[in-house]
Chain A
């Protein structure tokens, strides 16, 4: 009936969809990417920034495996910062302000120029299993496309509605059309669907802001590019501005609380606790007099500014009063209203670690449709889903990441193991091994894997090998003994006690006040580039802690390596509490480690499983 046949169809062209489609096409699958509107490709629907705590690490990981997000952020950069300086390398997090228009244009161009990848506008209205064991996808204009594997990256578009006070629209973000029919296909395929909520603040006009009442924030010019293959990024192009809400803001919100959809019951979706609207903040943290507000530039092409920290779903007239009560925004012109958005998403515990549905083989899911939030979280999933869609089509073994090698591994394990009751955001505290999962070593952790998969090209791989070689070269110098004559002047200058004995380069670098740059002034580690030098420095200074972390991983892996038989009937293990039995039967964890992370499965339940396994293996 149709010649529209593809290996892989990706539904959705947001941050998950783009990574999935690019990975699939680059690995040799004839790939179709469907979007309701081609102007939404890689659209930054909320804040004009990429990265941040834990998210910055994810961007680096995507890059290390040959994904696109970091390169695209570097291309579209307005300014770059490193968060958490001074709190330790485990939590250093790069964050970029990016140009929203450029980001969309650059990504769309990359997609258009990728062989095997076909970009097509069309709202997917139906997806069904076809006779060939693949899927047929029908669009709103009644065209049908078929594929062997499908990746659903529908973002917040499924049955979405936006709310501004009592004004409700059946709409996707930013006035883009929503997708009204696809949820039904998912229900028909046996997926359980839930409703989540999120929101975005107003955009305001730059030249109506009284910048004298704000604090300017420029980028930092000593931060490395996001991508390991970007050589250089521009200096700060646009500034951010910091300001605060006032007592007046609080008064206005409390007076109009009954008009906010979250408080008068007209929103059903569950919103994230970590990203509250301004009305939510004022009500929940009543003792706080003022809240911090960041003003971020949307693009070089426009004077629109994003008011971070002040998302709202109040009526537009109340929004005006709220924004006018913020310091420096007394006369601000609102250009786009803040709104809340509700949407359908699936319960991601129905997926396995490749992001394929356990009960519908060949169907993958990535991004906000899985109940996550954030561009970076979406892109990380998109990459893994895209890789696995290709591997599924070509009959290769599945590819999975682990909690001990990446934040993306932590993310996927979390969402496929624990039922989320609110949109899932990555945080460094979710990663138990964060001392190892750093933004500076994502390439050392993952590039070799990316090479095996086939997404790491020669240019990236050679850069990676060169860095590794430099590190090895530096490590060799660490054992060189330096006489006190040479290091004493430096030590005195840096307030380090001089013992009079010879010290190795390693011992010198481990001193609290000595940096790798200082060591270079002594004539060692001189020929290393900044990246390699930094690796050597961290590995030296944090060696004790890193070793401990590795022991902890080995310890944790004892449970990770204890496989749970596929046919185990948890309902028959009487010692397990009923809730645990049901959860285990539904989620069917692969191993004891994963079982222990299921909400509702207690450590006592795991102990029982350990004994149960021991008994049944010995039988």
Chain B
């Protein structure tokens, strides 16, 4: 018998409504103690009164009977007014009547224990919850649909063909069975290796889909970096002034554009200063640039040809073009006016630069670090198998191929170990 857990399912803080969810064998009995009239049947959303210690809340209640619920257990949901105080009071009431606070990821863990989800499904759900853009949600949905799983099963199947052919050669040396030649084994292994390589290659785009593009805005003081950030965000997020060194620390803010998330980092202007705090800001700016996917190097001088010292690709932005009396000197740069014009051309350029348009048409993207890790390891094991072909003996080739097969199995959950499960469940956010 499972004890009964409770948690807030919607986001914490100000919102129109909150949903509090309870799951476990006592969920219905507990809810009946303080909500009436309690719905007469499952799956029916009922308006009623929820009595807390502090106030009576006008709320709605629905229950799902096991096993037809997300967790596979009896589950009750309260739909209340938003805000921290209401949610807190309802949860307290549940706790005082016998429920306990859910641990991180416990609802999904129970769904998994009760056979309602498999591993890749579970990961798809995490990604759906975490999704901040439509693109990320699509990638998560693909996982849920098990598109990756199907491809992996296909590849595993091919490897299994190779392995079994080799095993026959090893176990039945006295039978005159047509044995796989090193050349055919090698080309078959290479085929699977290439397919893995192609999947791994989608991870760059997968990262864009899931996490977006990290963009650092750098340049000398007072070239309008903060104005540019505000223009890109469409809000007055950064403080703007004509005093040099207004921005002292880096400032991060994200915006969605054409279903892609852009994570902008505004940085302190680069100059020599004796101000210790300001110099720390400059240091941070350099660090931000080096860890971004791309750097916007902002200048307000149409003759500026300087290059920002970073390992990352950079785009030069001529800001304040409304003040220029001539065309900027570098034609491969963008000219904008953060104050008076649209800066969408920057976002559009970044969008194209990262081929973000391909996300819509791509069938499958690798967005999950664990999957990427498995794919890379499997590819490595296959390379070992391939280089073992001819150089060493068939027993070694077969073993390496078998390992690659098992590694791929970790993605779909056909080979299992505890580490995978621990990692997955530590990633679940409370209440889902």
A binds B: yes
The answer, yes or no, to whether B256 is at the interface (CB within 8 Å) is no
| Stretch touching chain A among B74-82, B84-92, B173-181 | B173-181
Q: When A86-B393, A577-B115 are in contact, do A603 and B169 touch as well, CB less than 8 Å?
A: no
Contact B172 A53 (CB under 8 A): yes
B302 CB contacts on chain A under 8 angstroms: none
**A575 with B114, Cβ < 8 A, contacts A435-B395, A603-B415 known:** yes
Segment from B183-191, B210-218, B234-242, B416-424 that makes contact with A:
B416-424
Chain A residues near B417 (CB-CB < 8 A): 555, 558-559
Chain B residues with Cβ under 8 A from A294's Cβ? 174
Contacts of A512 in B (CB 8 A): 391
A558 lies within 8 A of B418 (CB): yes
A596 contacts the other chain (CB 8 A): yes
Could you tell me if B115 and A91 are in contact, using CB atoms closer than 8 angstroms?
Answer: no
Q: How many chain B residues touch A (Cβ–Cβ < 8 Å)? A: 34
Please, how many angstroms separate the alpha-carbon atoms of A90 and B400 in the complex? 13
Contact with B along A392-403 (1 / 0, CB 8 A): 000000000000
A87 is contacted by which of B169, B174, B415, B421 (Cβ under 8 Å)?
B169
**How far is it, in angstroms, between the C-alpha of A87 and the C-alpha of B112 when the chains are bound?**
44
Min CB distance A179 to B, Å, is: 33
A608 touches B113 (CB 8 A): yes
Q: Given contacts A574-B114, A575-B114, A604-B413, are A84 and B173 in contact (CB under 8 A)? A: yes
Interface residue? B310 (CB, 8 A): no
- Is the beta-carbon distance between B170 and A612 smaller than 8 angstroms? no
CB of B355 within 8 A of chain A?
A: no
The reply to whether A88 and B113 form a contact with Cβ atoms under 8 Å apart is no
Q: How many whole Å from B401's CB to the nearest CB in chain A?
A: 12
Identify which of residues 81-123 in chain A touch chain B, using a CB-to-CB cut-off of 8 Å: 83-84, 86-91, 93
Task: Tell me if A429 and B167 are in contact (CB < 8 A).
Answer: yes
A611 to B117, CA, bound (A): 14
CA distance A429 to B164 in the complex (A): 9
The residue from B113, B170, B175, B418 contacting A429, defined by CB atoms under 8 A apart: B170
- Residues A611 and B393 in contact, CB atoms below 8 Å apart: no
Q: Per-position contact with B for A558-581: 1 when CB-CB < 8 Å, else 0?
A: 110000000000000011110000
Closest to B416 in A: A603
Tell me whether A148 is interfacial, beta carbon within 8 Å. Answer: no
Contact of B399 among A52, A545, A603, A611 (CB under 8 A): A545
Tell me whether A429 and B421 are in contact in the complex, defined as CB-CB below 8 angstroms, given that A604-B118, A608-B115 are known contacts.
no
A99 vs B416: C-alpha distance when bound (angstroms): 48
The answer to whether B113 touches A575, judged by C-beta atoms less than 8 angstroms apart, is: yes
Q: Which residues does chain A contribute within 8 Å of B415, judged by CB atoms? A: 603
- Check: A428 CB closer than 8 A to any chain B CB: yes
Interface residues of A, CB < 8 Å — how many?
41
Residue interface mask B356-393, A partner, CB < 8 A = 1: 00000000000000000000000000000000000111
* Closest partner residue, chain B, to A610 (CB atom): B418
Bound together, the chains give a CA A90 to CA B397 distance in angstroms of 11
The B-contacting residues of A in range 426-448, CB under 8 angstroms, are 427-429, 434-435
Contacts A604-B413, A607-B421: A428 and B170 contacting too (C-beta < 8 A)?
A: yes
- Interface status of B261 (Cβ within 8 A of chain A): no
Indicate if the CB atoms of B414 and A603 lie closer than 8 Å: yes
Residue of B173, B403, B416 near A607 (CB, 8 A) is B416
How far is the CB of B118 from the nearest CB of chain A, in Å?
Answer: 6
* Choice from B72, B118, B394, B399 contacting A435 with Cβ under 8 Å: B399
B170 surroundings in chain A (CB, below 8 A):
53, 84, 87, 91, 428-429
Q: Given A603-B416, A612-B113, A88–B395 Cβ distance below 8 Å?
A: yes
B119 contacts partner chain A, Cβ-Cβ < 8 Å: yes
Complex-state Cα separation, A53 to B421, whole angstroms: 38
A54 at the interface (CB under 8 A from B): yes
- Asked, given contacts A596-B416, A606-B416, A610-B421, whether A292 binds B175 with beta carbons under 8 Å apart, the answer is yes
B392 near A88 with CB under 8 A, answer: yes
Pair A292/B176 contact, Cβ less than 8 Å: yes
Q: Does B396 contact A (CB under 8 A)?
A: yes
Known contacts A88-B393, A429-B171; decide if A603 and B72 are in contact (CB<8 Å).
no
Q: Which residue of A lies closest to B399 (CB)?
A: A435
Is the C-beta of B109 less than 8 angstroms from some C-beta in chain A? Answer: yes
A572-619 residues at the B interface, CB under 8 angstroms: 574-577, 596, 603-604, 606-608, 610-612
Give min CB distance, B3 to chain A, whole Å: 9
- What is the minimal beta-carbon distance from B4 to any residue of chain A, in angstroms? 15
Contacts of A612 in B (CB 8 A): 113
Once bound together, how far apart are the Cα atoms of A83 and B119, in whole Å? 43
Q: Which of B67, B175, B391 has the most CB of A within 10 A?
A: B175
Give the shortest distance, in Å, between A92 (CB) and chain B (any CB).
9
Knowing A88-B393, A577-B115, say if A607 contacts B413 (CB, 8 Å).
yes
Contact B171 A89 (CB under 8 A): no
C-alpha gap A569/B176 in the complex (Å):
49
Q: Which residues of B contact A292 (CB under 8 A)?
A: 174-176
A542 interface residue (CB < 8 Å to B): yes
Q: Measured between alpha carbons, how far is A83 from B118 in the docked complex, in Å?
A: 44
Report the separation of the CA atoms of residues A89 and B394 in the bound assembly, to the nearest whole angstrom.
Answer: 10
Contacting B413 at CB < 8 Å: which of A52, A86, A603, A611? A603
Closest-CB distance, B409 to chain A (whole angstroms)? 8
Closest to A427 in B: B171
With a cutoff of 8 Å between Cβ atoms, the chain B residues found around residue A434 in the complex are: 395, 399
Most buried by A among B72, B112, B176, B399: B399
Task: Assess A608 versus B395: contact at CB under 8 Å? Given A91-B170, A292-B175.
Answer: no
Whether A575 contacts B112 by the Cβ 8 Å rule is: yes
Chain B residues within 8 Å of A611, by CB: 109, 112-113, 421
User: Do the beta carbons of B173 and A87 come within 8 Å of each other?
Assistant: yes
- For A87, what are the chain B residues with a Cβ–Cβ distance below 8 Å? 169-170, 173, 393-395
Bound Cα distance from A258 to B142, whole angstroms: 54
A549 neighbours in B (Cβ, 8 Å): 399
On whether the beta carbons of A574 and B115 are closer than 8 Å, the reply is yes
Residues of A within 8 A of B112 (CB): 575, 607-608, 611
Bound state CA distance, A576 and B415, in angstroms? Answer: 17
B-facing mask of A289-300, CB < 8 A → 1, else 0? 000101000000
**Which chain B residues border A52 with CB–CB below 8 Å?**
174
A15 → chain B, closest Cβ, in Å? Answer: 21
Min distance, Cβ B114 to any Cβ of chain A, angstroms: 5
A607 to B171 CA separation, bound complex (whole angstroms): 32
Question: Complex Cα distance A434/B170, Å?
Answer: 11
In the assembled complex, which residues on chain A have CB atoms less than 8 Å from the CB atom of B172? 53
Q: Which residues of A contact B (CB under 8 A)?
A: 52-54, 83-84, 86-91, 93, 292, 294, 427-429, 434-435, 512, 542, 545, 548-549, 552, 555, 558-559, 574-577, 596, 603-604, 606-608, 610-612
Pick 9 A–B contacts, CB within 8 A, sort by A.
A88-B394, A512-B391, A545-B399, A574-B67, A574-B115, A575-B115, A577-B115, A603-B416, A608-B115
CB-CB nearest 7 A-B residue pairs: A88-B393, A88-B395, A90-B395, A429-B167, A603-B416, A575-B113, A427-B171
New contact pairs (8) apart from A542-B392, A603-B409, CB-CB < 8 Å: A88-B394, A90-B395, A90-B396, A91-B170, A434-B395, A603-B414, A607-B119, A608-B112
